[in-house]
Structure 1
Amino acid sequence: MKEIKRPVNSHKAYHAHVYYEQETLEFASKLCKEAGDKFNLRVGRTHEALVGPHQKWSCQITFSSKDFDKLVSWLEQNRKELTVLIHALSGNDLEDHTIYAYWLGDSVELDISMFSEIQ
């Protein structure tokens, strides 16, 4: 059985990417909006296309270390079957999406090839 790496609060800033499909778009949109409202966070658009390294539709929530514990716990409790990628914003995109990447739910393959070109 694959060991699950639990999110660790070791950086100043983070993104949470909530992944969804057409069937879960409405729930994901509500979840992201509620997270933004509840924790006073910046929430991006709910993309109905692949963006960046993400191989599923996603919505991005930007948060800081002071919100980490409350937000991650809340997302874990409220995400139902959705997968959420939590990653640091260290300034190194490749490391952020690999070494400093944590999953709530099943992990999703990322296309990190774009990062190796710019590092």
Structure 2
Amino acid sequence: MQKTTTYAINTFHAHVYFDIQQTALAAQVREQIIQDIPQLTYRGQLIPMSIGPHPKPMFELHIPADCINYAMASIDTLRQGLSVLIHPLLADDYLAHTAEAKWLGTPLPLKLEVLR
């Protein structure tokens, strides 16, 4: 019998990636998402460089679990071609950014060695 693990997930992170030449577009997408999803618990500023496991400039949003389905649909509609990583907030960052992650748009290679 296979053992299954369950997690109590309260929050999701969304990382919206952009190229530096797309900074104005990313700022516009960020504002549209913030307007459409008032339940966001964190609305990060644009980060114009690669940091941590993230391969490109990005901005981060925190989404309560009880509105993740609406938020994912909204972000997918508003992302204007930008790639978005959505993952649960877990004690195991590697698991959160891999097996438990979902991509909207083109998946990007993360710097996973940072999470080990």
Q: How does 1:30-109 map to 2 (within 5 A)?
A: 30-40=28-38, 41=40, 42-109=42-109
Unaligned runs of 5+ in 2: 1-7
Q: Distance in 2 between matches of 1:86 and 1:37?
A: 19
Aligned length: 107
Q: Is the 8 A contact 2:29 2:80 kept in 1?
A: no
Cα distance in 1 for residues equivalent to 2:70 and 2:53: 26
Cα distance between partner residues in 2 of 1:98 and 1:70: 22
**1:19-61 CA distances to partner (integer Å, 9 max, x unpaired)?**
0012221111121122223322221110111111000110000
Whether the aligned pair in 2 keeps the contact of 1:20 and 1:56 (CA below 8 Å) is: yes
RMSD: 1.4
User: Structure 1 stretches (4+) deviating beyond 6 angstroms?
Assistant: none
Structure with larger Rg: 2
The residue type paired with residue 23 of structure 1 is Q
Q: Secondary structure at the match of 1:15?
A: strand
The answer to whether the 8 A contact 1:55-1:111 is kept is yes
Distance 1:77 1:111 in 2: 27
Percent identity of equivalent pairs: 25
Gaps of 5+ in 1: 1-9
2:13 pairs with one of 15, 30, 49: 15
Give the residue type in structure 2 aligned to 1:87: H
Q: Which has the higher strand share?
A: 1
TM-score (norm 1): 0.83
Contact 1:85 1:103 in 2 (8 A): yes
1:101: how far off? 1.0
Question: Structure 2 length normalisation: TM-score?
Answer: 0.85
